[in-house]
Amino acid sequence: MRDFRCKSCGQRLSFENSLCLHCESPLGFSLAERNILVLDDDARAVVDDVSVGRCANFTVAQCNWLTDDDAPDGLCESCRLTRTRPSDDDTDALAAYGEAETAKRRLVFELTELGLPIVSRLSEPESGLAFDLLSSRLEPVVTGHADGVITLDLAEGDDVHREQMRVELAEPYRTVLGHFRHEIGHYYQSVLIDDERRKGFTELFGDPDADYQAALDKHYSQGAPEGWWDEYVSSYATMHPAEDFAETFAHYLHIRDTLDTAAAFAFAPAGSTLDSDLSGDIGFDQIIEWWLPLTWSLNQINRSMGLPDLYPFILAGPVLEKIRYVHSLVG
């Protein structure tokens, strides 16, 4: 994530800011310019000679993105990907919905920075990308992906629920953004793995057409195999080739965005940003050369604060080769 500054007074801003806390200028994020703009008295700005204003979800989802007047339902590029959300009278779910949309905007921004295709359900009704952000308060909701639709149980935004699930499933890391990055991995498997790339996928991850339900039943009845960390980035990745790819894809997004943020604040070289040319094997080797010492130092900083490791994962050789494969798809 970039280091944003208020164009009116120079105050540092976070990606989520809709108001400068120093000069009180109204702010809005432009995906086209990939920057936070100062708005006029009518809460508008001009981007590429087009007048833009706040997303229609400015209040209900705390969305600080800008969009033009012709956008469907007045929604920004991120919010219009959401197909289903809680009703306006479900105030508890709406709060969680706003937090989920905040995480989704980070996801969409990173995907855009990486140049990955984002084709919405509006353009491709059968396979386009869409999000169903649902509350499990009244009925069961299963977080997952199916034919381009990513479903998230908004209970994942609740710290107590999420921590309980993390402990029960013996996961070292569980966040809403992490869920989105995992599920978008499933989407990009369907988008990026064509017949030409299938062989490489199978050699690294296994048969993507293997019986998923059988693999699921086996995983939850027997658990991950002993020594799984020598070949997989997480225990969940051992369940099925599709889950291995999704977990690996999520970690690639973790790595690139964290390096980008570190570079913005001079914790990593300037060349490690998302818009840098890091294509090919040479680029990947450089990414890992930066990543491993960064995570070591960040983990030690967390321990100094009495907190768990920021990045509690082991990237064994076979895992790095899988991440290298994802890098080749993105690059």
Closest by alpha carbon to 212, among 144, 141, 153? 144
Q: Kindly indicate the confidence band of residue 170, based on its pLDDT and cuts at 50, 70 and 90.
A: low
Closest by alpha carbon to 46, among 7, 83, 84, 12? 7
Is the distance from CB of 215 to CB of 239 less than 8 angstroms?
yes
Asked if the model's pLDDT at residue 88 lies above 90, the reply is no
Residue for token digits 């299963």?
A: 142
**Distance between CA atoms of 96 and 164, rounded to whole angstroms?**
17
Asked if the model's pLDDT at residue 3 lies above 80, the reply is yes
Calculate mean pLDDT across residues 165-170. Answer: 59
Q: Kindly indicate the confidence band of residue 124, based on its pLDDT and cuts at 50, 70 and 90.
A: very high
Per-residue model confidence (pLDDT) at position 269: 92
**Distance between CA atoms of 59 and 280, rounded to whole angstroms?**
42
Per-residue model confidence (pLDDT) at position 174: 73
Q: What is the pLDDT of residues 258-279, one digit of tens each?
A: 999 999 999 999 999 998 999 9
Per-residue model confidence (pLDDT) at position 209: 93
3-class secondary structure for 109-160?
HHHHHHCCCCCECCCCCCCCEEEEEECCCCCCCCCEEECCEEEEEHHHHCHH
Calculate mean pLDDT across residues 22-26. Answer: 95
Asked if the model's pLDDT at residue 62 lies above 60, the reply is yes
Calculate mean pLDDT across residues 96-110. Answer: 94
State which amino acid sits at residue 10.
G
User: What letters, b where the CB count within 10 A reaches 16 and e where it falls short, cover 19-35?
Assistant: ebeeeebbbbbbbeeee
Three-state DSSP at 234 gives coil
Strand-pair category, 66-68 with 50-54: antiparallel
Ordered by start, the domain boundaries in the chain are 4-75, 82-187, 193-330
Q: Which has the minimum average pLDDT: 131-140, 165-174, 312-321?
A: 165-174
Q: What is the pLDDT of residues 202-250, one digit of tens each?
A: 999 999 999 999 999 999 899 899 999 999 999 999 999 999 999 999 9
Q: What is the pLDDT of residues 130-165, one digit of tens each?
A: 999 998 877 888 899 999 999 999 987 666 556 666
Structure tokens at 96: 């969680």
Asked if the model's pLDDT at residue 167 lies above 60, the reply is no
Most distant CA atoms of the chain, gap in Å = 62
Determine phi and psi for 134, rounding to 5 degrees: -125, 150
Asked if the model's pLDDT at residue 82 lies above 90, the reply is yes
User: What letters, b where the CB count within 10 A reaches 16 and e where it falls short, cover 274-299?
Assistant: bebebeeeeebebbeebbeebbeebb
Strand-pair category, 149-153 with 144-146: antiparallel
Calculate mean pLDDT across residues 76-82. Answer: 96
Cα angle, residue 48 at apex, residues 47 and 49 outer, rounded to 5°: 90
In the 8-state DSSP scheme, what is residue 230?
G
Is the distance from CB of 32 to CB of 45 less than 8 angstroms?
no
Per-residue model confidence (pLDDT) at position 171: 67
pTM: 0.92
The β-bridge partners of 132 are 84, 151
Per-residue model confidence (pLDDT) at position 42: 93
